[in-house]
Amino acid sequence: MKAIELRAKDTAELDKELLDLRRAQFSMRMQAATQQLTNHSQIGKVRKDIARVKTILCERGATK
């Protein structure tokens, strides 16, 4: 997801997006641990998306 798309969302939507991304990251970590994950590059993409969302929340002053 691009930063421009994230900036268009309000804080509540960003909080929900962050929660969804963290759940996806956890799921991928479990799949990787059990040798079920086929595309390991997805983990890095999700981590970067989490960082983007957290950066925008921090810019708005709504840190967690």
At 42 the pLDDT is 96
Please state the pTM of the whole predicted model.
0.89
DSSP one-letter code for 58: H
pLDDT along the chain (64 residues), means of 10: 92 96 97 95 97 95 67
At 25 the pLDDT is 97
Domain spanning 3-60, CATH class: mainly alpha
**How far does Cα 38 stand from its chain's mean position?**
19
Domain limits, the chain = 3-60
SS (HEC) of 1-50: CCHHHHHCCCHHHHHHHHHHHHHHHHHHHHHHHCCCCCCCHHHHHHHHHH
